Amino acid sequence: MAARNFIRTIIVETPSRPGNLGKVTMAIGSEGGDIGDIVTKQIGPFSTVRDITVHCENPEQFERVLVAVEALGNGIHIHSVSDDVLLAHEGGKIHMTSRVEIRSLADLRRVYTPGVAEVCRVIEKDPSKARYYTSIGNTVAIVTDGTAILGLGNIGAVAGMPVMEGKAALFDRLAGISAVPILLDTSDPDEIVQTVKNIAPGFGGILLEDIGSPHCFEIEERLKADLSIPVMHDDQHGTAVVTLAAVIQACRATGTDLSKAKVGQIGLGAAGLAICRMFLAYGVEQMVGVDRQAVALDRLQSFGGTPANSIQELMETCDIVISTTGVPGLINPGWVRKGQIILALSNPKPEIEPEIALSAGAAYAADGRSVNNVLGFPGIFRGALNAQATDITHEMLVTAAKAIADCAKPGELVPQPLDLDVHRAVASAVEQVAHHPKNSI
């Protein structure tokens, strides 16, 4: 018998009459499909919705199953087809819950009316008390306009909601922070800035997420200037923190002095420029970058870096090379210098495969699979919120990178991202320096 390794779940709505589920299962069986779990999701007066897991030999057989079920007609309808990933997202990944029990009238009077009026008066007299008597001090807004979602590009804010929900779930799980996705139906910097400023009183911090370049730079800079709460664009600074941590570890493994090394950055988009700024803040003396856009090279110079004329020139002169271009195979193996450290971070395909870079003479090579932003943003915001910081500085970010690197075990480029001890270490390190910020990002 052929293996039935093609498994999908169909979400089927049937009229609420006896026999309709049997018709669906018979249709599946008629095309040779096997049935796994059947889960009733919703029962109404007129229809019932069920998740039915179907095992088939291949996608073609599964397509025949779908046709057979849809052909039943008479109100029987397939709403959607899910795999395991889609199933994990059904209904969304986050849900707001109450932190207090409301089981009696006494509870109601204490947490709502009339008792809540007293708390309102306290905050009216001293707005800073809102940090203690509301969720504001432990809540972060995750703001996106959907213009740079993962590697998918400008797919819109609603299509980016699964990413924002994922960030919120990680904030809660790894740092105990309540995070709220905010989807903006505009990519105009003026509208984004004004909208975020208008909602900012309800949050202790702002995480900008998947906002494209170049308007992401202006938006972050303006919000940091106008708001007195931490603001961070994760695609820039979260990526830069984890990249610095990875390079610190690579330098330890190869005996390289990072501060004295010449570091090259290929690609000066949001992440690339932030990486350059992070390394300069760390104390790297020579930071070189290359990009097709002249404006990106001008930005690099304004931050203290040096433009290179070509990728080949950068490869020939730099001890450490980082690449974030999104272009697979961009780095020619013939350009690799003996003893170089190379981090080609584009996903899913790097600019050069680590095995190829190593065989070409690199002392250390890695791709972007391990360099995950989740190692940075939960602990960074936990530390900033604990310290009641008004902004996030480069000193705080460099400290976060060092803390991540120090948590890595021998042989690891960076620690396991779900290790709670790592996030506690990052939060503690950031909180310690947050009281004395030096250089704003």
What is the per-residue DSSP string for 175-228?
A: H--EEEEEE-S---HHHHHHHHHHHGGG-SEEEE-SPPTTHHHHHHHHHHHH-S
Ordered by start, the domain boundaries in the chain are 6-89, 135-229, 237-441
The pLDDT, as a whole number, for residue 440 is 44
What is the DSSP-derived secondary structure letter of residue 419?
-
| Below-70 pLDDT ranges, the chain | 1-4, 436-441
Q: Given this model, what pLDDT does residue 89 score?
A: 77
The fold for domain 135-229 equals Rossmann fold (3.40.50)
Superfamily of domain 6-89 in CATH is ACT domain (3.30.70.260)
Active site residues: 112, 167
Do 6-89 and 135-229 come out as alike in CATH topology?
Answer: no
Q: Cα–Cα distance between 394 and 397 in angstroms, integer?
A: 5
Instruction: Say how far apart CA 134 and CA 130 lie, in whole Å.
Output: 5
Residue type, 41: K
pLDDT of residue 4: 63
| Residue ranges with strand state E in 220-323 | 231-233, 262-266, 286-290, 306-307, 320-323
Superfamily of domain 237-441: NAD(P)-binding Rossmann-like Domain (3.40.50.720)
Residue 412, φ and ψ in degrees, nearest 5: -90, 140
Using one digit for the tens of pLDDT, what is the confidence trace for 66-87? Answer: 999 999 999 999 998 887 777 7
What is the H or E stretch that residue 56 is in?
strand 47-56
